[in-house]
Amino acid sequence: MKKYSVDTIVGVFVAIGLVCVGYMTIKLGKVSLFGDDYYSLRARFSSVSGVRVGSPVEIHGIEVGRVDKMALDTEKQTAVLELKIRKGITVYDDAIASIKTAGLIGDKFVNIDPGGGGEALASNAFIPETTSPTDMEELISKYAFGDVKKDKKDNAE
């Protein structure tokens, strides 16, 4: 009888441990089982170099979502990012989305200036204004090989 109770206690602890591991997997993996706490916005960019699915979306330096999908709009010759934004975060129709770099050579992320002077964007709406990332390699090569143009003011002196 004593062996049966020890086995039962061990089984209960193993079951509790498995439930805890499953819960942490869902929370840390950012998987949603019981409903979606996000809504989608889209943004067109001329280049999304360095951005990946899962890259963060930030407003005022705070992560508010992730890049969910990337697609190519062949008709308008642009890249389209689908962004998942947490519900409760309002982005307006005068918002600006830009691709930034975390640090000097860090990962790329999408930064949104949410605006505030217009109407709130509905789910699946396009952010009207975007800014593509600066290509640091191109700037460095231009500087290194002397392709950087001097101002007329510098040439006059």
CATH architecture classification, 38-133: Beta Barrel (2.40)
pLDDT at 31: 60
pLDDT at 148: 55
Rounded Cα–Cα distance for residues 55 and 53 (Å): 6
Digitized pLDDT (tens) for each residue of the chain, 157 residues in all: 566 688 888 889 999 999 998 888 877 766 655 556 889 999 999 888 888 998 999 999 899 999 999 999 889 899 999 999 999 888 888 899 999 888 777 788 999 998 887 888 888 899 988 887 776 677 777 777 776 565 554 444 4
List the chain domain ranges.
1-31, 38-133
Cα dihedral 39/40/41/44 (nearest 10): 170
Cut 0.85: pTM above it: no
Query: Could you tell me the two tokens for 119?
Result: 């109407």
Rounded Cα–Cα distance for residues 67 and 69 (Å): 6
pLDDT at 2: 61
Closest by CA position to 83, among listed 96, 100, 68, 73: 68
